[in-house]
Amino acid sequence: MNVAVRYYSRSGNTQKVAEHIAEAAGVEAVSVDAKDAALNEKVDVLFVGGAVYAYGIDDKLKQYLKGLSSDKVGKAVIFSTSWLSKHAIDLIKNGLTEKGIPVESETLYFKSKAVDASRDEAVKFAKRFI
Ligand SMILES: Cc1cc2nc3c(=O)[nH]c(=O)nc-3n(C[C@H](O)[C@H](O)[C@H](O)COP(=O)(O)O)c2cc1C
């Protein structure tokens, strides 16, 4: 099974969760603005994460979602962090749905202050889809 983990993180919280998921999947977590962020071959599962910043997700993540192709993604699984709001999950889901990419209904979310203790739950969550 091909798995990829992509995220955007301004201050490192979502990156930590991405790295736990990537560890579970045995792949690298790659920031959406990294050179190797594009999906070169089809993945069965794409874990995609981001955070909310004043009611929106970062433009870099928005652009990345716009550039995705349904030919390259079997299913997307969303994760997010924030102080309180889960709105990024809806925004990421909308971006994926607009591209015709199926989205897993279960999502992974941590409040920012809980991220440092997120490893076990993140690994357990990820393993259910890989
Ligand atoms: C400018 C700014 C605006 C934010 N707005 C919200 C918000 O409206 N609601 C919320 O729950 N968290 C908000 N947050 C908190 C971030 O979503 C949270 O710190 C998140 O974990 C950051 O993820 P990152 O470290 O991966 O960038 C905001 C943070 C910043 C810096």
Structural domains for the chain:
3-127 (3.40.50.360)
- Condensed to tens digits (0 to 9), the pLDDT of residues 15-71 reads 999 999 999 999 999 999 999 999 999 999 999 999 999 989 999 999 999 999 999
Query: How far, in Å, CA of 66 to CA of 58, rounded?
Result: 13
- Condensed to tens digits (0 to 9), the pLDDT of residues 3-22 reads 999 999 999 999 999 999 99
* Position in ligand 1 atom list of the atom nearest CA 16: 26
* Position in ligand 1 atom list of the atom nearest CA 9: 26
Cβ-contact 46, 40 below 8 angstroms: no
CA of 27 from ligand 1 middle (Å) equals: 26
Residue 50 CA: distances (Å) to CA of 10, 41, 108, 129: 9, 22, 11, 19
Residue 52 CA: distances (Å) to CA of 42, 56, 112, 127: 28, 5, 11, 25
Residue 32 CA: distances (Å) to CA of 107, 113, 120, 128: 19, 23, 24, 24
- Whose Cα sits closest to atom 9 in ligand 1? 85
Q: What is the pLDDT of residue 23?
A: 98
- Condensed to tens digits (0 to 9), the pLDDT of residues 74-96 reads 999 999 999 999 999 999 999 99
Q: What is the pLDDT of residue 44?
A: 98
* Token code pair at residue 28: 């690298």
For a mutational test of ligand 1's pocket, the pick from 32, 52, 91, 116, i.e. the residue with the most ligand atoms closer than 8 A to its C-beta, is 52
For a mutational test of ligand 1's pocket, the pick from 112, 115, 116, 118, i.e. the residue with the most ligand atoms closer than 8 A to its C-beta, is 112
Prediction pTM value: 0.98
